Chain A
């Protein structure tokens, strides 16, 4: 016997749902975004990003390190929002911290991206790998490098001669991630403020604002 739901009850239920959603939105918009990890002595070095690829103005008023894996769904989900927010802001320097934690294909992709950096195409490769839906293997990577204007043979030669350096860079990224308390990807460290997980363009804007305020 199905219980009858009166029209009034239905309206009340609707009001509760909408009201709850509204409250959650208000809380979400007003709660400070991210966590201040400025106490960690790893932060300054991470934000300097020595020997790591970057993008954006060198003298930007804000630096943000992005910890990502090319096969991590949340990283891929957050990528367009981050790009839009960074472009809108115009004064953010990105530091790319490849952190391949999804297994060998992720590691291979990150190594290839880093090995291509000396050709000046890292951001283009990063953008392609974050948005390309093909399975990651060498033919795929080759086409990504080539599409980004790179020379695949030069990439593989560089990777062969700098394998240890690149492996060390990836290990360093993992140690840095652990040091600031990142438990997975993606991680966005803007100034001293750390956000874990995917966020939207508005929240990136809020992150930049809080990071600039905290750095003062």
Chain B
């Protein structure tokens, strides 16, 4: 009896302590550089080794993101020690979101690079049919993709939520945005600019 009494007292005391914090219950997103650059679920593209990461926030229906694509392709060909980290940030509506979900899930069958390219170069505005066509072009196993989305869809959605939280918190306003080291570069950039960003990132010790 006494023990129970004490416990309920303790509960009241705890509630009293917790109460002043009630307006601040919201969750803080992880905005560390590691969370931005090394997300375990975000698709990545790299050679055997890399010494710098280029993080791209993009939408498959964003025209400027599509214009970035050849720049990034050339970069990958000419600078084998660059890693691209794809942070899908679908802000152009439901079809963009579906394209991103499909692209992210295609990494589990090793088709992300091809599918990403097919989506980025598909003619006109992407819709569900366009996603399907791009998948065929990229030799994506569609039934397997659907299965992966069914079993691991929550992982994909959690990644999209993390990306959205990060994008909002670090003041990203539209797509594309590139992050290279500590540098945030909004909008499409040309190859020389991108190379300069990489050079600066390489010149600095990690974390600065």
- A: residues with CB less than 8 A from B are 37, 39-40, 42, 69, 71-73, 76, 99, 101-103, 105-106, 132-136, 170-175, 177-185
- List, sorted by A's number, 27 A–B pairs whose CB atoms are closer than 8 Å: A37-B208, A73-B21, A73-B24, A101-B29, A101-B169, A102-B28, A106-B26, A132-B23, A135-B23, A170-B171, A171-B172, A171-B173, A173-B171, A174-B169, A174-B171, A175-B170, A177-B169, A178-B33, A178-B36, A178-B171, A178-B182, A178-B184, A179-B182, A181-B33, A181-B208, A184-B30, A184-B32
- B: residues with CB less than 8 A from A are 19-33, 35-36, 165, 168-173, 179, 182-184, 204-205, 207-208
Our pick among A39, A40, A171, A177 for the contact of B31 (Cβ within 8 Å) is: A177
6 nearest CB pairs, A to B: A171-B171, A174-B171, A183-B32, A102-B26, A178-B170, A175-B171
Our pick among B20, B205, B207 for the contact of A133 (Cβ within 8 Å) is: B20
In the assembled complex, which residues on chain B have CB atoms less than 8 Å from the CB atom of A42? Answer: 182
Interface of A, helix, strand, loop or mixed by DSSP: loop
Q: Is the CB of A179 within 8 A of B184?
A: yes
Q: Across the A-B interface, how many residue pairs have beta carbons closer than 8 Å?
A: 84
In the assembled complex, which residues on chain A have CB atoms less than 8 Å from the CB atom of B170? Answer: 174-175, 177-178
Q: How far is the CB of B4 from chain A (nearest CB, A)?
A: 24
In the assembled complex, which residues on chain B have CB atoms less than 8 Å from the CB atom of A101? Answer: 28-29, 31, 165, 168-169
In the assembled complex, which residues on chain B have CB atoms less than 8 Å from the CB atom of A76? Answer: 24
In the assembled complex, which residues on chain B have CB atoms less than 8 Å from the CB atom of A170? Answer: 171
Our pick among B25, B27, B173, B208 for the contact of A40 (Cβ within 8 Å) is: B208
